[in-house]
Every structure is written in structure tokens, then in C-alpha cells.
């Protein structure tokens, strides 16, 4: 699929109603914007932290300690 | 054909762009060469900023787009400036503030100083003097880290992120910061004296740059740097000094990016990019120096605080696009979008997103390519 393509997704009305309430007076102008936001952050969740193995995490922490941050 | 020059890159960590007119040292440096006074860094913290400078690429290319990512540097596909110079027979040496702040590939000697103990002026003068005694061309990367040392001690460790004692005293914060910048200028003066006394400018390209700026309390929530992308932390500068080739006393106010530094060095040294590796996103600045082009360059910048919020510090959560007139910022943690008219609102105080829907839509389209 082309990265710029868009596809419809079916979401139960019960959840749509909750989203509508959630985005009232928020940064989100549309339901679609909120759904994309949640999905994007969820996908970052999976990809970000899990890519570092314990040795790599320790190496970074050593550097950050030396820089005075930790 | 002229022989290739020695190359020295000297980073003065954390000097804000608006310090340029406040210190005579910067005027003296400008008299020696070319000042790019409107440079935008890729990232407002050292680790990602320097990886971008050493590759001419953004974090999405190098994988180094967050505090916890230098271990993920794509060394198989990103060829660093050091590697190019090493390949051309240069002796290469770095003196950095810590491991992982700079890609290590290509360095013959790679040392980290102790920012709390070492006298950086004496240490770096010694490195330069010894390099000039070598019977071969050299590349030195030297990092002046003492503003960082003082900001960590006197700001980061001392105040909380929304501390009224800090954000309510901007003038005091500025005075304290300027004392640290003055020390950096003393260091630069000492380095210039060494270069002048020994005629070291000859056959040598010297680049002096700031890798990112620093808050003095402008925006609550960011007492120093690395959390947001406002101008106090992303607007920096660079000096290119090479008296035999480049003009003297020239200031270029065209907007450039920190990723343009490496392609410029390669262009000056007539070293072609190796197509077997990822393409540099930066572009040589020589066309701006010789006046062939004076177009501002679109800058992309991203960051994520060391203490979060999620997904930082493993991935960036704040991204921005900057032209000379506009800045568009998107925070993926809060979904907040901001648009600033930098010409009329240089302090970025009035989010005018709703006043310019077409401009916002265009920037939103561009920044989504980065998400």
C-alpha cells in the first residue's frame, strides 16, 4: 500500500462517543486526528525502548552519568 | 593544485546565537573569516546535534534522534567526516566530553576529557601544538564543555522543571549564563593567541561552532535545553576560518543548518561524497560564501527531554520546521501544534496557528513526513 493512501476503519459507536467527549476543548479538532495520535504513540511505544539491549542501555547511562545528567 | 589543509573543528558547547553581538571575541573571530550567524541545529542537545554535524544527516538517517540512541548509530551506512579525512591520509584525533557524544569511526585517537578537572585551554593548545609537529595533515575535533559543566551544576541540578525561583528570575539567569560564556570567550581568545603566535592559520581550515543553545527561563518547563525547540536552544552559529581561501570579515545571515557543515568541509577539500553510503542531506555553503545563491534553507529540528515525557528519551516527541519567517512545532505527546511568525514575534510568544490555516496546513503536511 502507498504510504499516502488512507483506509476506513470501523470503530464502535460507544468508543466514538467516548472520543468525542475526550477531545472536547482539547488540542484535537477531529476524531480522526485523535485516533491517529493514539495509534502513532502506541506504535512508537513498541519500537522505541525495545530496540536497546541491556548492554546498550548501560553504555548510554554511563555517558549520561559522565555528562552529569543521571 | 593546492594541497589539502589541516582541519580543526572546535565546538563551544551551548552558546546561544544572541550572544554573538554581546562579546568582542566573536567579532574578532569574524574578522578572521566567515560567520554564519543564522544557523539552526538539528537537535538542541549535544549527542544528536554532533552526530548530525559529523554525517550531514538528520537523526532519521543516522538513527541518533534521541538521548538514548547513540548506541544505534548506523555506522554501516553513514560515513562520517572523520572517515572521509582518514581515508585521505589525515591523522585524526578527538577530545570530547564523553563517550558516545561523537561518532568514533575514523579517529586514530579518541579521548574524553574530565570537564570538572581538566584545563581545556592548556589541554587543547597542547593537542594543536603537537599536531602541527606531525609530518602529515591532521583533523582535530576539540570540544569546549565548560558552559555545560556550569549549567549542569548551577541550573539543572539546582532547580526543578517549573521552579519559580528559576523562571521568575530571567535577568539573573542571563547574568549567570553570560559569566559562563565569558569563560568560553577567554578560552577562544587563548586558542586564537596560539594560532596567531605560530602562524597556525596557514594551511588550516578552522571551524568554530555552537552545537545548541540554552534557556534562561523563557518557557516554563525548560530550564536549560533538550526539551523544546524554541529559538533560544536551536539557533546557533558557525565560523569558517581559512584565510588563504575564504573571505575575511564576512557575515552571512542566510538561514543554514548544522547538517550543512560537513558537505561544506568536503567541498572545500574537494573530496567527493561516496555514493556507497547514505546521502548527506546537508548542502555545501560555498555557494552562499561566493554569492552564487542566497536562499534561506528550510531547517528541521527535533528533540525529546531526557526525563520524558514518553516516548522520550528513547524517541523524539517534539519536531519543528523553521524558515526565516515561520516556525511550526508539533508535540506528539500532547498533539499540540504551534506556529510562530518569527519576523514579528521573535520570542515565540504568540501561537498564531489559527490565523494562518493555509501555512499551517503546508507545514503540517511537511512535518508528517517526519513522523
Q: What does the pLDDT look like over A9-66, one tens digit per residue?
A: 999 999 999 999 989 988 788 998 889 888 877 776 566 666 789 999 999 999 999 9
- Determine the Cα–Cα distance for residues B208 and B229; give it in Å rounded to an integer: 22
Residue B173 pLDDT exceeds 70 = yes
Q: What was the pLDDT predicted at A4?
A: 73
Nearest by CB to residue B67, choosing from A56, A64, A66, is A64
- Residue in B166, B115, B182 with CA at minimum distance from that of residue B144: B115
Please tell me the distance in Å from B92's CA to the nearest CA on chain A: 22
**Neighboring chain A residues of B315 at a CB cutoff of 8 Å:** 44, 47-48
Residue B1 pLDDT exceeds 60 = no
**Neighboring chain A residues of B99 at a CB cutoff of 8 Å:** 59, 62-63, 66
Indicate the DSSP class of residue B250.
E
* B268-310 pLDDT tens trace: 999 999 999 999 999 999 999 999 999 999 999 999 988 888 7
Segment B262-268 shows an average pLDDT of: 98
Please tell me the distance in Å from A9's CA to the nearest CA on chain B: 20
B186, B192, B193, B198: CA torsion to nearest 10: 160
**Neighboring chain B residues of A37 at a CB cutoff of 8 Å:** 332, 335
Please tell me the distance in Å from A14's CA to the nearest CA on chain B: 23
- Burial of residue B174 (number of CB atoms within 10 Å: 0-12, 13-18, 19+): middle
Residue with cell 602529515: B136
Please tell me the distance in Å from A51's CA to the nearest CA on chain B: 9
- Determine the Cα–Cα distance for residues B253 and B247; give it in Å rounded to an integer: 15
Closest residue on chain B to A44 (Cα): B311
Assign residue B48 a region: left if phi > 0, alpha if psi is -120 to 50, beta otherwise? alpha
Residue B24 pLDDT exceeds 60 = yes
- Determine the Cα–Cα distance for residues B352 and B170; give it in Å rounded to an integer: 25
Closest residue on chain B to A39 (Cα): B332
User: Inter-chain contact B72–A52, Cβ cutoff 8 Å?
Assistant: yes
Nearest by CB to residue B71, choosing from A34, A56, A67, is A56
User: Inter-chain contact A64–B306, Cβ cutoff 8 Å?
Assistant: yes
DSSP string, B44-74: SSHHHHHHHHHHT--HHHHS--STT-GGG--
- Residue in B324, B322, B320, B323 with CA at minimum distance from that of residue B337: B320
* B40 in Cβ contact with B256 (< 8 Å): yes
**Neighboring chain A residues of B337 at a CB cutoff of 8 Å:** 27
Amino acid at each position: 500500500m502507498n504510504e499516502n493512501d488512507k483506509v476506513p476503519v470501523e470503530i464502535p459507536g460507544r468508543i466514538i462517543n467516548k472520543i468525542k467527549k475526550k477531545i472536547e476543548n482539547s488540542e484535537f479538532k477531529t476524531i480522526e486526528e485523535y485516533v491517529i495520535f493514539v495509534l502513532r504513540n502506541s506504535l512508537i511505544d513498541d519500537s522505541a525502548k525495545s530496540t536497546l539491549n541491556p548492554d546498550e542501555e548501560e553504555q548510554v547511562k554511563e555517558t549520561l552519568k559522565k555528562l552529569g545528567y543521571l | 593544485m593546492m594541497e589539502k589543509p589541516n582541519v580543526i573543528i572546535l565546538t563551544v558547547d551551548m552558546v546561544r546565537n544572541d550572544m554573538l553581538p554581546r562579546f568582542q571575541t566573536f567579532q574578532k573571530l569574524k574578522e578572521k573569516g566567515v560567520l554564519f550567524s543564522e544557523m539552526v541545529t538539528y537537535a538542541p542537545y549535544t549527542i544528536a546535534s554532533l552526530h548530525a554535524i559529523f554525517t550531514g544527516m538528520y537523526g532519521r538517517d543516522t538513527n541518533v534522534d534521541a538521548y538514548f540512541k547513540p548506541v544505534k548509530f548506523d555506522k554501516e551506512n553513514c560515513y562520517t567526516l572523520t572517515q572521509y579525512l582518514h581515508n585521505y591520509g589525515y591523522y585524526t584525533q578527538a577530545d570530547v566530553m564523553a563517550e558516545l557524544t561523537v561518532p568514533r569511526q575514523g579517529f586514530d585517537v579518541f579521548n574524553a576529557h574530565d570537564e570538572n578537572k581538566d584545563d581545556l585551554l592548556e589541554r587543547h593548545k597542547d593537542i594543536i601544538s603537537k599536531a602541527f609537529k606531525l609530518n602529515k595533515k591532521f583533523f582535530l575535533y576539540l570540544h569546549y564543555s565548560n558552559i555545560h559543566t556550569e549549567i549542569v551544576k548551577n541550573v539543572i541540578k539546582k532547580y526543578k522543571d517549573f521552579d519559580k525561583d528559576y523562571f521568575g528570575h530571567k535577568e539573573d539567569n542571563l547574568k549567570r549564563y553570560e559569566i559562563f560564556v565569558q569563560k568560553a570567550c577567554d578560552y577562544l581568545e587563548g586558542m586564537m593567541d596560539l594560532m596567531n603566535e605560530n602562524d597556525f592559520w596557514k594551511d588550516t581550515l578552522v571551524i568554530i561552532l555552537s552545537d545548541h543553545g540554552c534557556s534562561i527561563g523563557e518557557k516554563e518547563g525548560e530550564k536549560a535545553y533538550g526539551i523544546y525547540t524554541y529559538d533560544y536552544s536551536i539557533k546557533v552559529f558557525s565560523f569558517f576560518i581559512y584565510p588563504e581561501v575564504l573571505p575575511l570579515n564576512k557575515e552571512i545571515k542566510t538561514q543554514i543548518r548544522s547538517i550543512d557543515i560537513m558537505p561544506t568541509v568536503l567541498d572545500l577539500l574537494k573530496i567527493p561524497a561516496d555514493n556507497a553510503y547514505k546521502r548527506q542531506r546537508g548542502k555545501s555553503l560555498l555557494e552562499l560564501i561566493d554569492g552564487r545563491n542566497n536562499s534561506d534553507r528550510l531547517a528541521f529540528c527535533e528533540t525529546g527531554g531526557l526525563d520524558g515525557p514518553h516516548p522520550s528519551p528513547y524517541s523524539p516527541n517534539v519536531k519543528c520546521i523553521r524558515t526565516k519567517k515561520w516556525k511550526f512545532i508539533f508535540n506528539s505527546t500532547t498533539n499540540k501544534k504551534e506556529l510562530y511568525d518569527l519576523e514579528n514575534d521573535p520570542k515565540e510568544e504568540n501561537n498564531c496557528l489559527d490565523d494562518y490555516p493555509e501555512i499551517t496546513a503546508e507545514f503540517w503536511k511537511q512535518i508528517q513526513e517526519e513522523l
